[in-house]
Amino acid sequence: MDATEIRGQFPILKDIIYLDSASTSLTPEPVIQAVADYYRGYRANVGRAVYRTAQLADQRYREAHRKVAALIGSAADAAAERGGREGRAEGVTVFTRNATESINMVARGIKWKRGDCIVTTLLEHHSNLLPWMRLREWGVNLKIIKPDAEGRLDMADWEDALSGGARLAAVSHLSNSLGTVQPVGEISRICRDCGASLLVDAAQSVPHMPLNVQDIDCDYLCFSGHKMLGPTGSGVLWMRCSGRESIEPLLAGGGMVHEVVAGEGGDRGSFSIKDGYEGYEAGTPDIAAGIGLGAAVDYLQRLKMEDIHSHEMGLTRRLVSGLQNIKGVTVYGPGAQEGRGERGGVVSFNISGLLPHEVALMLDQAAGISVRSGHHCCIPLMKHLGLQFGTVRASLYLYNTAAEIDKLLATVEQIARMA
């Protein structure tokens, strides 16, 4: 994969070194064009009309669902798309606004009972922690597993937490603050042995590495389109829908029903919900964002996820190793020599004597380098690690180059020398 050639599709890179893709990725020209084509050529609502442009919009929107399902290995969705009803019963890919909405749909869609238990970790982004914390108001118990200093979780802790009859486990595949990759397949096996469902927050992993929901064997997979070259306002909730934990739609309204009986007098009335993703996408969705997400998946598939991952891991090793060799710099998370599957391209560090925001501002002013600074929506984790002001975070993607990493390292070394 030639990152230098790819960069021509991202004009913004002429002016900056962008190292904040864990927050939101940049968008290539083909994705922008796909969104513009919808607005210019066939803007119409989906699932509601038979005229030509409406049919085209509906086709492209459905095709986007199929593309996303294929990316994560959901054969069930592919079967459903071909008309196989048995496929719909095993897997559904729902478009949402982002991973946050996807997780909240699960949290609000399960019929919880007082005394139910959820297990999660202190590593989680607030989006995979706060929805479960809110359920305490309903009498749901929450167990939180603590990681070690590098973000690793002890499988014995999972076994202990789940063996007491937990109903659901929720874990991030790749930490958005430390870059640690969790063994979600192993966690899934523990969940199965204990009778618990598993939700995986894959917002940081789906854009960067090959992933297959059948191999993970999770019940829910949540991720955001805007972190994988897609438009903002695009996200995904994949559900196994095997009957273990089917969820109620978060919204009810137009487009998600087959039949409605309003009811009169003492008759309360009723409505029947459509099968597949339409039953969970009430109202007019962000059609352009969905089509743009489909175009982003096309882009990723052409480059091949394995090649993207290999490219990023080479840059990550270069960055972590370089930072570890700079006096006054502390790197958090797994080291540069860790195994291939133990860390991703999210690298957090601090410079002694400087606040993270100060370092980020200096990097921008001195070299046009864009990095994140602060708590990264992981305040409980930062408190656990004793990082009152958080960290500086550089996060990599397919359009970054070795020259950019070297520029970051040289600038960090200069700042550290002055601190």
Active site residues: 377
DSSP structure class, residue 62: H
DSSP structure class, residue 52: H
CA neighbor of 329 nearest in space, from 300, 346, 349: 349
Q: Which residue has the tokens 């070690």?
A: 148
CB 334 within 8 A of CB 349: no
DSSP structure class, residue 16: -
Q: Which residue has the tokens 């590098």?
A: 150
List, as own/partner pairs, every contact residues 6-10 make where C-beta atoms lie below 8 angstroms and the sequence separation is at least 24, other chains included: 6/303, 6/398, 6/399, 7/399, 7/401, 10/399
List, as own/partner pairs, every contact residues 331-334 make where C-beta atoms lie below 8 angstroms and the sequence separation is at least 24, other chains included: 332/149, 332/150, 332/151, 332/177, 332/178, 332/385, 332/387, 332/391, 333/150, 333/151, 333/175, 333/177, 333/178, 333/179, 333/180, 334/150, 334/151, 334/152, 334/178, 334/179, 334/180
**Strand residues in 49-109 grouped as ranges (E):** 92-96
Q: Alpha-carbon distance 109 to 299, whole Å?
A: 33
Classified as helix, coil or strand, 200 is: strand
CA neighbor of 166 nearest in space, from 147, 142, 184, 189: 142
Helices (H), 95-227: 99-109, 130-134, 155-162, 184-194, 213-216
The structure tokens listed for 342 are 């133990």
CB 168 within 8 A of CB 110: yes
Which positions ≥6 away from 170 have C-beta within 8 Å?
103, 118, 119, 120, 124, 128, 132, 198, 199, 200, 201
CA neighbor of 119 nearest in space, from 197, 213, 236: 197
The structure tokens listed for 34 are 């796909």
